[in-house]
């Protein structure tokens, strides 16, 4: 329902059907690209990961290396594989990930989010599992900036009384 007052040109139309903010709108699944890959993008700290998922035999490559060769820490490998194990897609899909920026922990978090988003496009019935395990939630924590007149973000220079 909208109402416009024609006598006053400064009045703007008011509607009851205001669009929801971008953060509250549901993602529309895009479907596979021309090669059959489902895409997902993940970010964590300063790392950005582009993850592709396709039905296959469970091969997982990160920057053209096997995941076990790319991630030396078992903790990182386990957190990435948790996405596939919880959704029951381990061994059923091939995954390719390219990741830039950040360190190993940030890259792991970015791949987890990107993999969750790609699996959501691959099979939308996995959404409740992905959501309840936090695989679709971005971790927004970033490094706090250094302030002028201080040694770091919170650390001050040493105080000298004399």
Contacts of 129 (CB under 8 A, 6+ apart): 86, 87
pLDDT given for residue 12 in this prediction: 53
pLDDT given for residue 31 in this prediction: 78
pLDDT given for residue 34 in this prediction: 85
**How many angstroms separate the CA atoms of 162 and 159, rounded?**
9
**How many angstroms separate the CA atoms of 117 and 40, rounded?**
5
Q: Give me the tens of pLDDT residue by residue for the chain, a chain 162 residues long.
A: 555 555 555 555 555 565 656 555 566 667 788 889 999 999 999 999 999 999 999 999 999 999 999 999 999 999 999 999 999 999 999 999 999 999 999 999 999 999 999 999 999 999 999 999 999 999 999 999 999 999 999 999 999 998
Global pTM value: 0.79
Q: Long-range contacts of range 84-90, CB-CB < 8 Å, 24 or more positions apart?
A: 84/115, 86/129, 86/133, 86/135, 87/119, 87/126, 87/129, 87/130, 89/119, 89/122, 89/123, 89/126, 90/58
pLDDT given for residue 24 in this prediction: 56
Query: In terms of Cα–Cα distance, which of 82, 76, 70 is closest to 44?
Result: 76
Distance of CA 15 to the CA centre of its chain: 33
CA dihedral 32, 35, 36, 41 (to 10 degrees): -50
CA-based angle 112:78:125, to the nearest 5? 50
pLDDT given for residue 43 in this prediction: 97
pLDDT given for residue 128 in this prediction: 95
Q: Three-state DSSP class for 154?
A: coil
Contacts of 125 (CB under 8 A, 6+ apart): none
pLDDT given for residue 26 in this prediction: 62
């Amino acid at each position: 329902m909208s109402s416009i007052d024609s006598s006053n040109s400064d009045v703007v139309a008011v509607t009851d059907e205001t669009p929801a903010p971008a953060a509250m709108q549901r993602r529309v699944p895009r479907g596979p690209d021309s090669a059959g890959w489902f895409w997902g993008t993940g970010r964590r700290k300063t790392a950005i990961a582009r993850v592709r998922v396709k039905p296959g035999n469970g091969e997982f490559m990160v920057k053209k290396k096997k995941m076990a060769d790319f991630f030396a820490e078992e903790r990182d490998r386990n957190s990435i594989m948790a996405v596939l194990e919880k959704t029951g897609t381990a061994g059923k899909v091939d995954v390719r990930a390219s990741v830039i920026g950040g360190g190993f922990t940030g890259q792991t978090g970015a791949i987890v989010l990107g993999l969750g988003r790609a699996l959501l496009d691959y099979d939308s019935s996995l959404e409740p599992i992905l959501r309840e395990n936090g695989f679709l939630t971005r971790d927004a924590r970033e490094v706090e900036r250094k302030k002028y007149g201080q040694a770091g973000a919170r650390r001050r220079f040493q105080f000298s009384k004399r």
